[in-house]
A = this chain, B = another copy of it.
């Protein structure tokens, strides 16, 4: 079963909105067992929509479309699809009632735009919108499916979960596709590829390998497809076990988990708690940790000490050491970690102090210089990193390196 994804909207084309929808739909549909042929982003324009739709239907079984279903005049998807499938526009009473309820929950009355959104093609199956006003549309023709959803991510996601995925499962039978992730941290892609070249050359032809680098991490993805899911899983597991022997020091997860999820699981296993003291990461580590549901079980809090006076007053960093060594130093980052550990009475603490850039660098401590410390009741350790010139990347890499250091420290305890 082959899938094409079409994203409609000038805001995507010109780069004012990042296309997270295609990414999310792809992940869900891939997990379901569809093979994704391509994603295409096109203009809010009748000809572009028709060309993309025809090309997609020529090559694929299922076409997922997002965008252009809003209440405003620049939204063309619904009339174009209605014309393509030769339908007639009618008022849908269920949709009208849904919109009325949605609008009233927000304390508003139905306006003309809202009312217009209850007009839908009569030859499609309507997908109710629980998080907004534009309904989704499910068309079938020649045993192929075209589904059109709003571009607002949480409206689209709810429709996929409640309707599109269950309806696809009713209609088609899916093969077993397995993507196994092996996630590494602290080693560059080319070095990893060299360490793994023998293993890679001996991989069975049924298993496909990909290197997926992101700041501070390289994910290895092993993919295989087959009829019998347990057999596919078993074949992949053999290779994962080999990897665990070749590069044990770099692997932090063998599932498609974020490093902050791994941190959470490890802390939960120990009934342990965490706090952070952040300078150059500015609260980003705390944000990553608290983005995980249930993190209040192990995360107590953070002191983001951007100003030096906050390092002194809130974390007990010695003013003399700030003067002697500077804020970006081993002495200071260690005191920050120990300070927050004690202050918030946690089992673990991480701390960062660095020059995120693009300004603030010196000859001695150029942009990208970052000290990271991890502390627990047995003491503190710190590591110096040299990242690059990009502020956002330096914050990201620092956070990942800090969480990586924490994973190692917590894992040793568990062994």
Contact = CB atoms under 8 A, between A and B. Distances in A.
Interface of A: 9-20, 22-30, 36-44, 48, 52, 70-74, 103, 106, 108, 111-114, 131, 133, 152, 154, 179, 181, 188-191, 193-194, 197, 200, 208-214, 219, 221, 223, 256, 276, 278, 281-287, 289-291, 293-296, 299-307, 309-310, 313-314, 343-345, 356-360, 388, 390-393, 395
A194 B113 contact: yes
Nearest to A38: B42
B301 A190 contact: no
15 contacts: A16-B181, A16-B219, A19-B19, A38-B52, A114-B190, A152-B213, A283-B286, A283-B302, A283-B304, A287-B395, A291-B392, A299-B307, A301-B303, A309-B345, A310-B344
Contacts of A276: 283, 304
Contact of A211 (B48, B74, B213): B74
A358 to B, nearest CB: 6
Nearest to A391: B293
B301 A310 contact: yes
B36 A388 contact: no
A71 B40 CA distance: 27
A22 B19 contact: yes
Given A190-B71, A303-B303, A359-B293, A14 B26 contact: yes
Contacts of A314: 301, 303, 314, 343-344
Given A16-B219, A111-B190, A303-B303, 5 more contacts: A18-B23, A19-B22, A74-B208, A287-B395, A302-B303
Contacts of A111: 190-191, 194
Nearest to A59: B51
Contacts of A43: 37-38
Given A71-B193, A189-B71, A306 B301 contact: yes
Contact of A302 (B40, B197, B304): B304
Nearest to A18: B23
Contacts of A103: 190
Nearest to A188: B106
A43 B38 CA distance: 7
Contact of A287 (B9, B30, B40, B287): B287
